[in-house]
């Protein structure tokens, strides 16, 4: 990549595809689409222009690209994936470039670290400064931190909010599967019906865990900022703010951390090629 022109970032998560459209270094628009089925692989392989991509990918941004010349040529897609079956599928696209851990300019990365976590902590550090802790509230809830020397400190992984709410319905005989709440106000702690009792148990326990990890992080790095991302990130941050407002003064919600990490990784690769 000799010049940062128009390109797409694709974060393949456990539940959805997350897209980012870049004009050089500037993120223009983001959108989400479902995973694609295996049957679409041949269409991806035969793409010759951006407009040849499956319609389910293009439809959310039709108004953004309508009439634009960009539809007439093939855009490079830079991919960060935690779903191998989807990675293989997208590698059929002629301008697919899978980002690997060895391209991430961080120290101390271990071989099994998820590329999404590595890029998110890189993007957060570039945006907010190092040291940094990223709390990604997606299908899994992950904590990933790096110190002031851009060296990975480590982190933790546990089931995310929606996964915990659904698991009781899937693994018990009489308890229902519960969807994640859509309102930002906390549920009643002492619930008087089963669905709300499940919400209370999961949400208050998750918030207590998040608070514990944040407190432990600030014991090591008291001046560090903390970034939330992920589909449930805004919701969990609001719950945390409701219970512990003094704790959230150095915490921000930034959904595009992985894309900022992609941009930084590509810039680093470009600089390495030119040096």
Residues 190, 104: Cα–Cα separation, whole Å: 46
In the chain, DSSP assigns E strands to: 6-12, 17-23, 26-33, 77-81, 96-98, 132-137, 140-146, 152-159, 225-229, 251-253
Query: Are 258 and 229 spatial neighbours (Cβ–Cβ below 8 Å)?
Result: yes
Which of these is catalytic: 32, 52, 62, 116?
116
**DSSP letters along 158-181, please?**
EE-HHHHHHHHHHHSSSPPP-PPP
Locate all alpha helices (DSSP H) within 96-232, ordered by sequence.
Answer: 115-128, 161-171, 194-220
Nearest Cα neighbor of 143 from 130, 122, 157, 129 is 157
Active-site residue, 116 included: yes
Tell whether the torsion through CA atoms of 74, 83, 119 and 132 is positive or negative.
Answer: positive
* Active site amino acids: 116
């Amino acid at each position: 990549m000799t010049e940062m022109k128009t390109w797409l970032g694709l974060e393949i998560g456990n539940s959805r595809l997350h897209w980012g459209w870049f004009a050089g270094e500037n993120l223009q628009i983001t959108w989400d689409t479902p995973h694609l089925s295996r049957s679409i692989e041949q269409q991806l392989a035969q793409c010759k222009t951006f407009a040849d991509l499956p319609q389910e990918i293009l439809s959310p941004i039709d108004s953004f690209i309508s009439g634009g010349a960009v539809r007439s040529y093939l855009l490079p897609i830079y991919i960060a994936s935690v779903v191998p079956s989807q990675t293989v599928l997208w590698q059929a696209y002629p301008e697919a470039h899978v980002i690997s851990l060895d391209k991430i300019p961080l120290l101390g990365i271990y071989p099994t670290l998820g590329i999404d976590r590595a890029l998110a902590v890189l993007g957060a550090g570039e945006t907010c400064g190092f040291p940094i802790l990223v709390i990604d509230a997606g299908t899994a809830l992950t904590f990933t931190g790096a110190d002031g020397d851009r060296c990975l400190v480590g982190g933790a992984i546990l089931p995310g909010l929606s996964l915990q709410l659904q698991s009781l319905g899937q693994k018990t005989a009489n308890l229902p599967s519960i969807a994640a709440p859509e309102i930002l106000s906390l549920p009643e702690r002492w619930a008087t019906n089963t669905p709300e009792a499940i919400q209370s148990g999961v949400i208050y326990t998750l918030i207590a865990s998040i608070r514990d990890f944040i407190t432990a992080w600030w014991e090591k790095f008291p001046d560090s900022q903390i970034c939330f991302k992920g589909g449930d990130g805004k919701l969990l941050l609001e719950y945390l703010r409701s219970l512990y407002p003094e704790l959230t003064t150095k915490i921000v919600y930034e959904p595009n951390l992985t894309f900022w990490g992609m941009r930084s990784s590509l810039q680093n690769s470009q600089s390495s090629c030119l040096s």
